[in-house]
């Protein structure tokens, strides 16, 4: 009696959620079972009235509908912002400019950059060449002077008597043997060698490459820094997509922003995904290619198939996430479901036709059998000739045994 009451409560609780057709089939099955029991016949469940399908519902859960990619455009600088397009959602191409921050100042800086480039080419580089020519002329003059002094010193060493008057007044020993003149000559030779090396370097292509290269690189660095400022000053769409403005821009008034302010969200709508947290460890055992996701849309349901998986931190815990790719035909209906989470249904396709029997119905036939032998025991006892294919969220899938 106690078991019958439990079954009745279970049935009443479920009937309110059942479609009319399923309810009629259920009542018919229960009537047949009750009739067999009254006649003393073994209780068996006739599956002909139950829905036949190749897939079964395994879970209802909150999912996040996400586009192929999305990017939050932030203000790269502080100042007065001006939008070039109406501040409402719209589709844009990669490279389109939505607006700019302190653009007038940027235009002045751009003019300065143009002037700097002209100065580099028309003043600094020609001035460097003039300086090098002056250095070359100066070193050439020094070398000519050294050459004359060296020639004179060599002549003194070759004929000391001829230049003896130059030695008068020198301290004793300075003129003897010509040692002081010889040392002087060595110094001249060493100095001349150094000047020739310096002159060779100044006249070389290597010096020009290094020093002109330094001037050019300094300007290029300056130009790169300006280009970075230009990118920071403009709100540019990074890829083709739908843009939604998040900054409360007021047309006709001055709108100031600070660097880092969130301005607009760009979404690539070419592909849409449903991200499902795998909360039940048993779902990991299911073959991913046979999983399907359904989400309600205004004109029916959008269907998605497994695409990829990744791990994500949710509330401080790392969770496995399955990502499902929706059929493009449902993308338009999913556009308004990208904020927050929506309820999705996870189905498993077991690849063959089977009868879907409500769980509570099987349990109601033999609660004791279920407690002792589980689903397999219930099927063997009340549905002979069938085997259990899969246990879903609300029902079990039963298929006729081969040869039955």
136: left (phi over 0), alpha (psi -120 to 50) or beta: alpha
Burial of 378 (0-12, 13-18, 19+ CB in 10 A): buried
For the ranges 140-154, 179-193, 207-221, the one whose mean pLDDT is highest: 207-221
Helix/strand/coil for 241:
strand
At 73-89, the pLDDT tens digits run 999 989 999 999 999 99
Nearest to residue 392, comparing CAs of 91, 82, 59?
A: 59
pLDDT confidence bin for 33, thresholds 50/70/90: low
Q: What is the mean pLDDT of residues 136-141?
A: 90
Identify whether the C-beta of residue 189 lies closer than 8 Å to the C-beta of residue 153.
no
What sign has the CA pseudo-torsion 356, 360, 363, 365? negative
At 305-345, the pLDDT tens digits run 999 999 888 777 888 999 999 999 888 888 888 878 899 99
Identify whether the C-beta of residue 4 lies closer than 8 Å to the C-beta of residue 365.
no
The H-or-E segment that residue 272 falls in is: strand 262-277
For position 192, what pLDDT does the model report? 86
Strand partners, 398: 355, 388
Any idea which architecture 2-67+269-400 has in CATH? Beta Barrel (2.40)
State the CB neighbour count (10 A cutoff) for residue 208.
Answer: 15
**Boundaries of every domain in the chain:** 2-67+269-400, 73-96+237-266, 107-230
pLDDT confidence bin for 60, thresholds 50/70/90: very high
For position 148, what pLDDT does the model report? 86
């Amino acid at each position: 009696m106690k078991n019958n009451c439990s079954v009745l409560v279970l049935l009443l609780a479920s009937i309110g959620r059942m479609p009319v057709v399923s309810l009629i089939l259920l009542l018919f099955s229960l009537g047949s079972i009750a009739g067999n029991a009254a006649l003393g016949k073994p209780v068996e469940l006739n599956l002909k009235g139950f829905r036949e399908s190749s897939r079964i519902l395994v879970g209802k859960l909150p999912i996040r509908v996400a586009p192929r990619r999305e990017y939050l455009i932030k203000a790269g600088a502080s100042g007065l912002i001006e939008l070039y397009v109406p501040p409402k959602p719209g589709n844009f191409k990669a490279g389109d400019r939505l607006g700019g921050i302190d653009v007038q100042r940027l235009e002045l800086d751009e003019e300065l950059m143009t002037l700097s480039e002209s100065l580099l080419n028309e003043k600094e580089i020609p001035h460097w060449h003039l300086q090098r020519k002056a250095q070359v002329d100066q070193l050439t003059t020094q070398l000519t002077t050294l050459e004359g002094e060296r020639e004179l010193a060599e002549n003194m060493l070759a004929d000391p008597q001829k230049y003896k008057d130059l030695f008068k007044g020198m301290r004793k020993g300075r003129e003897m043997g010509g040692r002081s003149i010889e040392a002087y000559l060595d110094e001249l030779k060493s100095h001349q060698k150094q000047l020739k090396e310096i002159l060779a370097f100044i006249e070389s292509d290597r010096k020009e490459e290094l020093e002109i290269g330094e001037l050019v690189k300094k300007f290029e660095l300056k130009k790169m820094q300006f280009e970075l400022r230009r990118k920071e000053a403009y709100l540019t769409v990074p890829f083709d997509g739908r843009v939604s403005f998040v900054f409360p821009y007021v047309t006709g008034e001055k709108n100031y922003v600070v660097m880092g302010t969130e301005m607009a969200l760009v979404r690539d709508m070419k592909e849409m995904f449903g991200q499902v947290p795998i909360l039940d460890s048993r779902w990991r055992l299911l073959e991913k290619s046979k999983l399907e996701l359904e989400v309600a849309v205004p004109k029916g349901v959008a269907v998605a198939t497994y695409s990829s998986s990744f791990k994500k931190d949710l509330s401080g815990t790392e969770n496995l996430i399955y990502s499902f790719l929706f059929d493009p035909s449902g993308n338009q209906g999913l556009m308004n479901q990208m904020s927050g989470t929506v309820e999705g249904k996870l189905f498993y396709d077991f690849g063959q036709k089977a009868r879907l029997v409500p769980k509570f119905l099987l349990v109601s036939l033999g609660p004791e059998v279920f407690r002792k032998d589980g689903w397999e025991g219930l099927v063997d006892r009340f549905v002979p000739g069938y085997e259990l294919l899969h246990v879903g969220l609300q029902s079990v899938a039963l298929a006729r045994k081969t040869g039955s």
